[in-house]
């Protein structure tokens, strides 16, 4: 269904001559593979897919879509919860062939092409025992993740991905290549650190690196759901004073049917404390000791492991091709009422892959001025996320309703803000909340860099108030 966005055949032939990567039309070999994104709820058919291999291809793709008035979608790792990395008709710029990661060991910098995943990144950086804040699932794209903020196991030690971004190259709405950093187009640099793909198509990103690994202390301490109230209260009190080197997410999941867990617990709802300590292993063992004694765990496995392997722990639990629905809140704290509400809703946990988690913020994240860049949530204590995951389309209504009900019940405990990368497709009315006090400055920036709102397949910031 291309309708009004049908693309003329001669135009495509002329365009293809300008492009070094593949250009795919519906029905051609590789087209279906290139258009498929992580969340199977979105099954879109672009009129043309440009598999970009260099910045020139991106510039030509932007030029084509802009001059022909075609919708444009941009795909980095394709993991957008709201499915905005593909479009119906129009032009899809698939950046996945641009996946080079170059490490400058001396200057502790990484220059990354925007089709790289965090798995690509960690593989290269860990060769030098270096890293930066990265997604907790290795298949997530570096670019979409970073442009929205980027939380992860290293964030309390080293800040968000945007706090480690030192420069970017972007293709703007008029198909020009520009650099953005503290000294080059600093207004644009302010905006892309949280403002998503609103201002251009990033083609490369440069990150500061930190010593990490090769081994870190990591694992899981899993408690029964009947102990969850007590576990979460103690967890909250513990986290308040925990060192920055400790990342400890509290997940509510169904116990997977694997040998590590007693068989009689398989399929039960449980509370899973996911621990990653990036300081000295011996110190970490002491730090996490209280977390092991919150009740009687059904699994307690926290050991030194390669950091790159830790970064892949959750890949199997979040496979591509399922149906997913996401809702989130930033929380200023975790009062007993919030814990009770979480447990009341999470007890049901419908959908085989559904998870709910609390991600402690604080540490280095909270030491950045909320106006220093577009990402504003510096005083939040937790990022709270309900992520429903299931297979059968007949379950869509039940799972989305459950997620909405849970999310609504948690609203009284929210800062009112939300992490932009976790917004669902039906939350355009929450984009202002995602930017808080920085929203108006982003609107003004959009007027400068994209006054026609050409880049709009994203959590869109229209160029008017």
Ligand X SMILES: Cc1cc2nc3c(=O)[nH]c(=O)nc-3n(C[C@H](O)[C@H](O)[C@H](O)COP(=O)(O)OP(=O)(O)OC[C@H]3O[C@@H](n4cnc5c(N)ncnc54)[C@H](O)[C@@H]3O)c2cc1C
CA-angle at 197, arms to 211 and 149, nearest 5°: 35
Q: CB 168 → ligand X: shortest distance, Å?
A: 9
Phi, psi of 14 (to 5 degrees): -65, -40
CA-angle at 205, arms to 382 and 277, nearest 5°: 40
Residue 159 within binding range of ligand X, rule CB under 6 A:
no
Q: Which stretch binds ligand X (CB under 6 A): 132-140, 213-221, 233-241, 246-254?
A: 132-140
Residue 78 within binding range of ligand X, rule CB under 6 A:
yes
Residue 258, both tokens: 């694997």
Residue 77 within binding range of ligand X, rule CB under 6 A:
yes
Q: CB 78 → ligand X: shortest distance, Å?
A: 5
Residue 79 within binding range of ligand X, rule CB under 6 A:
yes
Residue 101 within binding range of ligand X, rule CB under 6 A:
no
How many residues form the binding site for ligand X (CB under 6 A)? 36
Residue 403 within binding range of ligand X, rule CB under 6 A:
no
Using the 8-state DSSP alphabet, how is residue 82 labeled?
A: T
Find the distance separating the first CA and the last CA of the chain, reported in whole Å.
33
Among 46, 90, 150, 424, the residue binding ligand X under the rule CB under 6 A is 150
Q: CB 245 → ligand X: shortest distance, Å?
A: 17
CA-angle at 134, arms to 212 and 50, nearest 5°: 135
Answer yes or no: are the C-beta atoms of 431 and 84 closer than 8 Å.
Answer: no
Please tell me the distance from the alpha carbon of residue 274 to that of residue 183, in angstroms, as a whole number.
Answer: 39
Residue 141 within binding range of ligand X, rule CB under 6 A:
yes
Residue 248 within binding range of ligand X, rule CB under 6 A:
no
Q: CB 6 → ligand X: shortest distance, Å?
A: 22
Among 151, 157, 400, 438, the residue binding ligand X under the rule CB under 6 A is 151
Q: Which stretch binds ligand X (CB under 6 A): 144-152, 181-189, 263-271, 361-369?
A: 144-152
- Between 77 and 297, CB nearer to ligand X: 77
Q: CB 13 → ligand X: shortest distance, Å?
A: 27
Among 23, 34, 38, 126, the residue binding ligand X under the rule CB under 6 A is 38
Phi, psi of 203 (to 5 degrees): -115, -25
Q: CB 161 → ligand X: shortest distance, Å?
A: 7
Residue 148 within binding range of ligand X, rule CB under 6 A:
yes
Please tell me the distance from the alpha carbon of residue 430 to that of residue 132, in angstroms, as a whole number.
Answer: 29
Among 99, 113, 138, 143, the residue binding ligand X under the rule CB under 6 A is 143
The H or E element that residue 440 is part of is: helix 439-449
Among 23, 64, 110, 114, the residue binding ligand X under the rule CB under 6 A is 114
Answer yes or no: are the C-beta atoms of 62 and 175 closer than 8 Å.
Answer: yes
Q: Smallest Cα–Cα separation from 161: which of 142, 139, 181, 180?
A: 142
Answer yes or no: are the C-beta atoms of 445 and 455 closer than 8 Å.
Answer: no
Residue 135 within binding range of ligand X, rule CB under 6 A:
yes
Order across the sheet with 165-171: list the strands.
101-104, 109-113, 201-208, 165-171, 177-181
Residue 95 within binding range of ligand X, rule CB under 6 A:
yes
Kindly identify the residues of this chain, within the stretch 305-334, that bind ligand X according to CB under 6 A.
318
Question: 180 forms bridges with which residues in the sheet?
Answer: 168
Q: Which stretch binds ligand X (CB under 6 A): 5-13, 134-142, 243-251, 270-278?
A: 134-142
Residue 136 within binding range of ligand X, rule CB under 6 A:
yes
Residue 425, both tokens: 């497709």
- Between 5 and 294, CB nearer to ligand X: 5
Residue 421 within binding range of ligand X, rule CB under 6 A:
yes
Residue 350: CB partners within 8 Å, gap ≥ 6? 388, 390, 395, 398, 399, 402
- Between 137 and 334, CB nearer to ligand X: 137
Among 48, 50, 74, 288, the residue binding ligand X under the rule CB under 6 A is 74
Kindly identify the residues of this chain, within the stretch 174-233, that bind ligand X according to CB under 6 A.
196-197, 201-202
Q: What is the DSSP string of 120-176?
A: HHHHHHHTTTEE----SSTTSBHHHHHHH----TTHHHH--HHHHEEEEEEE-TTS-
Please tell me the distance from the alpha carbon of residue 331 to that of residue 236, in angstroms, as a whole number.
Answer: 12
Please tell me the distance from the alpha carbon of residue 432 to that of residue 34, in angstroms, as a whole number.
Answer: 32
Among 15, 42, 121, 145, the residue binding ligand X under the rule CB under 6 A is 145
Q: CB 121 → ligand X: shortest distance, Å?
A: 12
Residue 168 within binding range of ligand X, rule CB under 6 A:
no
Answer yes or no: are the C-beta atoms of 49 and 76 closer than 8 Å.
Answer: no
Q: CB 95 → ligand X: shortest distance, Å?
A: 6
Among 116, 130, 137, 247, the residue binding ligand X under the rule CB under 6 A is 137
The verdict on whether omega for the bond into residue 213 sits within 30 degrees of 0, i.e. cis, is: no
Residue 75 within binding range of ligand X, rule CB under 6 A:
yes
Residue 71 within binding range of ligand X, rule CB under 6 A:
no
What does the binding site for ligand X look like in residue numbers (CB under 6 A)?
38, 73-81, 84-85, 95, 114, 135-137, 140-141, 143-145, 147-152, 196-197, 201-202, 318, 421, 457-458
């Amino acid at each position: 269904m291309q309708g009004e966005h049908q693309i003329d055949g001669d135009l495509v032939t002329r365009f293809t001559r300008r492009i070094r990567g593949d250009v795919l039309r519906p029905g051609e070999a590789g087209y279906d593979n290139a258009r498929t994104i992580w969340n199977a709820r979105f099954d879109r058919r672009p009129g043309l897919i440009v598999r970009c291999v260099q910045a020139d291809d991106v510039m030509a793709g932007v030029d084509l879509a802009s001059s022909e008035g075609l919708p444009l979608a941009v795909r980095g790792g394709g993991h957008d919860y709201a499915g905005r990395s593909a479009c119906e008709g129009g032009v899809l710029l698939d950046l996945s062939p641009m996946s080079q990661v170059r490490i400058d060991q001396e200057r502790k910098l990484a220059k990354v092409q925007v089709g790289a995943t965090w798995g690509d990144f960690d593989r290269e950086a860990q060769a030098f025992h270096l890293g930066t804040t990265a997604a907790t699932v290795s298949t997530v794209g570096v670019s979409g993740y970073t442009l929205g903020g980027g939380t992860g196991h290293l964030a309390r030690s080293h800040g968000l991905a945007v706090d480690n971004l030192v420069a970017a190259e972007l293709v703007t709405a008029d198909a020009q290549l520009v650099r953005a950093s503290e000294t080059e187009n600093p207004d644009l640099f302010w905006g892309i650190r949280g403002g998503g793909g609103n201002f251009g198509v990033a083609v490369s990103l440069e990150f500061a690196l930190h010593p990490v690994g090769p081994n870190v202390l990591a694992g899981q301490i899993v408690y029964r759901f009947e102990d969850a109230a007590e576990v979460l209260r103690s967890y909250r009190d513990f986290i308040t004073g925990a060192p920055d080197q400790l990342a400890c997410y509290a997940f509510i999941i169904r116990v997977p049917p694997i040998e590590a867990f007693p068989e009689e617990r398989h399929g039960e709802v449980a509370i899973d404390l996911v621990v990653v300590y990036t300081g000295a292993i011996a110190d970490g063992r002491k730090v996490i000791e209280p977390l092991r004694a919150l009740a009687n765990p059904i699994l307690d496995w926290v050991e030194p492991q390669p950091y790159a392997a830790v970064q892949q722990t959750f890949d199997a639990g979040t496979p591509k091709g399922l149906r997913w629905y996401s809702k989130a809140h930033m929380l200023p704290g975790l009062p007993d009422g919030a814990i009770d509400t979480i447990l009341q809703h999470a007890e049901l946990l419908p959908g085989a892959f559904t998870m709910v988690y609390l991600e402690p913020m604080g540490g280095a994240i909270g030491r950045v001025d909320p106006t220093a860049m577009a990402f504003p949530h510096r005083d939040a204590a937790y990022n709270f996320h309900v992520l429903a995951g299931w297979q059968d389309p007949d379950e869509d209504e039940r799972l989305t309703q459950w997620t909405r009900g849970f999310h609504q019940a948690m609203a009284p405990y929210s800062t009112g803000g939300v992490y932009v990368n976790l917004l669902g497709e039906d939350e355009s009315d929450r984009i202002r909340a995602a930017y808080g006090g920085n929203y108006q400055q982003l609107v003004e920036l959009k007027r400068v860099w994209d006054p026609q709102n050409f880049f709009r397949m994203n959590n869109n910031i229209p160029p008017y108030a």
